[in-house]
Structure 1
Amino acid sequence: MAKQVIVIGAGIVGASIGWHLAKAGVRVTVISDSGAGGVATPNSFAWINASWGNPETYFRLRTRAMAEWTRLAGDVPAIPLAWCGGLCWDLPADRLEAYAAEHSSWGYGIERVGRDQAARIEPNLAELPDFALYVAEEGVAEPVTTTRALLADAERRGARIVTGTVQTLALSGSKVTGVVVSSETITADEVVVAAGAGALAIAATAGIKLPIETPPGLIVHSRPYKKLLNGLVLAETLHMRQTAEGRIIAGSDFGGGDPGENPEATARELFEATKAMLRGADGLELDFHTVGYRPTPADGFPIVSRADGVGGVYIAVTHSGITLAPAVGLFAAREILDGERDALLAPYALSRFAQ
């Protein structure tokens, strides 16, 4: 009989795990309390990259994930994946150079560009850097559309998508046997906790302590506008890109910046700074801002593993969900099905925090 697995969380990570399990013939139930897209995913900058992949072991996981994006988009054509490139100058020149040398030595396709080349890559930048780095192979996948595409395809493959709030994990001795949703117990052979910021409280119901923080990140979204940006721009104090529907989204950092005491005011200032950085943006209007809570493990790296001492549960919580989702989905599904753990996941077990 096919294995039954419950995936808690319908953000990009939960959707990818659910899809990979469904593809492998598992009877999957994906449970979400906020509908497709989850909580962190809609507020994501959606940048697919291995730029911030230090140390090298983490870089290897990220570059593998970039390759898995191409595979996944081939399997699910509705995924809006675009390798639009990223232009970056958000570090002092000496640090930018050191970073470029390191990542180039690892095989990342970094190109050093001057003012003229930067102008050719992004002709609408009002202020151009003297020195920047360009990675043509970085990209973007509109997060909510991608998540919905994965869930719809998982459903087509037999997965069940349930909207509801998980109150607790159901335990029998030291094994998780299912979940309690709206006072009803749903049983399964294994439960995957991929609920982002919500994972903390859910895991705690089975006595599992997750060392994650959930810092807020503010991002502004413009109304749809004519095309101003070709790819991702990571300037000194501002990171921005333009979505498929023409919205400019920006943050003081791609993870979103500190909303401060008055998020409205912070958003307006950030938006004015964004407009000032772009030529031809006179008619650009602020539509809304979001404050996302990003699940960030204490050491900044993913937690993707079974939990020690508690059977029947698998944890998948990470900060770089958009970049890592296809690889995490593939590796988690394999480990859940046949116990085979991919070497790239070796550093990311929950047990590393127990020492």
Structure 2
Amino acid sequence: MPAQKHIIVVGAGIVGASIAWHLTKAGARVTMVAASGPGGVATPSSFAWINASWGNPKPYFDLRLRSMAEWTRLKAGVPEIPLRRNGALCWDLPRAELEAFAAEHASWGYGIRRVDRAETARIEPALAELPELALHVAEEGAAEPVASTLALLADAERLGARIMIAAPVKSLVLGNDRIAGVDLDEGRLEADDVVLAAGAGSPALLATVGVALPIDTPPGLLVHSKPHRHLLNGLVIGEKAHVRQTTEGRIVAGADFGGTEPGTNPEETARELFAEVRSMLVGADDLKLDFHTVGYRPTPADGFPAIGRAPGLGSLYIAVMHSGITLAPAIGRMAADEILSGRRDPLLLPYGIDRFA
């Protein structure tokens, strides 16, 4: 790697922060630019469940499982990251599907086990209604999304990265069949490589250089309680809602981990959802709704991450995905290695940008 290789990272969400940190740690000169504050747009509205759970084909499971392990390494490098491996209970599937999910993932080496009503009560004593069968994965957990992003950015800055917040990128700069930098309100910033990790804002920036990337941005509403005494030990992926308690004591919940369809009246939707959540928990009579968030999840059209160099524009690296919280540590490490050395991790092979050509 050239000693002074300069790389711009566009986007201050958890994925951009991880890529910026890994690049800086590896010796690159990094400038991060972002229109919004630390955490970006999607990250603050994330349920933040770290998992390799159901509905994933084996190659995507393998990537997610690797990233679950990478969270441990990242936490060791940045101890300020608020990561908790507090386990998850799941029964948000019909019994036959739950059994099939358990059998499949166990055969793949996932630490998943069946638990009955009595053991579910021991794991989560505050649950008001107990399923006959649930699945428990002790290795799953959560990372507080904004605090984790702030910790990564602070350490990247300590290592020498330049962090430019409230610096919206107007366009990418195309020159000699390569992306030469970005245009900001205050002028042009040039670099050897540009990493686009701007989530839902990525298609508009790619359009400035004639690149199309199909990304959906489905909304998801989450409710956030006021801080409350301890109720939950880990994550609960139940039929009524998916629920967890943050390090500061807030209950965060959605109809699923991606959030709830907000409908035409998000405030009313939030109140109804919060009532369901309270009914799930013993000792929650004094639990109060504080606020709700509506996040727009950047999801490539086929549902899987879009990671890699843009065809024909080798100096542009794209990293857009839903499940940014689960994937951030692995993507940060793999992307930094590919950008600096040209080595592409085999786990990324199905997720290249050229599949959308």
Length-normalised TM-score, structure 2:
0.98
Residue 145 (1) aligns with residue 174 (2): no
Residue 106 (1) aligns with residue 108 (2): yes
Residue 188 (structure 2) aligned to one of 185, 190, 193: 185
Q: Which aligned pairs between 1:166-185 and structure 2 lie closer than 5 A?
A: 166-185=169-188
3-state SS of 1:290 partner: strand
Q: Which aligned pairs between 1:213-224 and structure 2 lie closer than 5 A?
A: 213-224=216-227
- In structure 2, the partner of 1:79 is 81
Structure 2 distance, partners of 1:223, 1:70, is 29
Deviations 1:157-177 (A, max 9, x none): 100000210000011032100
Q: Which aligned pairs between 1:319-330 and structure 2 lie closer than 5 A?
A: 319-330=322-333
Residue 24 (1) aligns with residue 40 (2): no
Residue 11 (structure 2) aligned to one of 6, 9, 12: 9
Structure 2 distance, partners of 1:257, 1:210, is 26
Deviation at 1:54, TM superposition (A): 1.5
Amino acid at match of 2:278: K
Amino acid at match of 2:125: P
- In structure 2, the partner of 1:258 is 261
Q: Which moved more, 1:221-230 or 1:173-182?
A: 173-182
Structure 1 distance, partners of 2:63, 2:101, is 18
Deviations 1:297-347 (A, max 9, x none): 111110110010223100000101000000000000001001110000000
Structure 2 distance, partners of 1:53, 1:326, is 21
Contact 1:86 1:135 in 2 (8 A): yes
Structure 2 distance, partners of 1:285, 1:235, is 20
Residue 310 (1) aligns with residue 299 (2): no
Deviation at 1:73, TM superposition (A): 0.3
- In structure 2, the partner of 1:51 is 53
Deviations 1:126-164 (A, max 9, x none): 101101100001011101000000000000110000021
Residue 274 (1) aligns with residue 266 (2): no
Contact 2:225 2:250 in 1 (8 A): yes
- In structure 1, the partner of 2:303 is 300
Q: Which aligned pairs between 1:159-170 and structure 2 lie closer than 5 A?
A: 159-163=161-165, 164-170=167-173
Structure 2 distance, partners of 1:174, 1:257, is 42
3-state SS of 1:279 partner: coil
3-state SS of 2:314 partner: coil
Deviation at 1:52, TM superposition (A): 3.2
- In structure 1, the partner of 2:208 is 205
Deviations 1:56-92 (A, max 9, x none): 1111101110111000000101011110000000000
Structure 1 distance, partners of 2:149, 2:342, is 26
Amino acid at match of 1:78: E
Deviation at 1:123, TM superposition (A): 0.3
- In structure 2, the partner of 1:65 is 67
Residue 228 (1) aligns with residue 231 (2): yes
Deviations 1:13-50 (A, max 9, x none): 00000000000110000111111111100000011111
3-state SS of 1:316 partner: strand
Residue 286 (1) aligns with residue 320 (2): no
Amino acid at match of 1:238: A
Residue 92 (1) aligns with residue 82 (2): no
Contact 1:53 1:62 in 2 (8 A): no
Structure 2 distance, partners of 1:247, 1:113, is 26
Residue 347 (1) aligns with residue 337 (2): no
Structure 2 distance, partners of 1:203, 1:103, is 37
Contact 2:54 2:101 in 1 (8 A): no
- Unaligned 5+ residue runs, structure 2? none
Contact 1:170 1:176 in 2 (8 A): yes
3-state SS of 2:139 partner: coil
3-state SS of 1:313 partner: strand
Residue 115 (1) aligns with residue 108 (2): no
Considering only aligned residues, what root-mean-square deviation do their CA atoms show, in Å?
Answer: 0.8
Amino acid at match of 2:179: V
Structure 2 distance, partners of 1:202, 1:183, is 17
Deviations 1:223-264 (A, max 9, x none): 000110010000113100000000000000101110001000
What is the aligned-residue identity percentage? Answer: 66
Contact 2:29 2:161 in 1 (8 A): yes
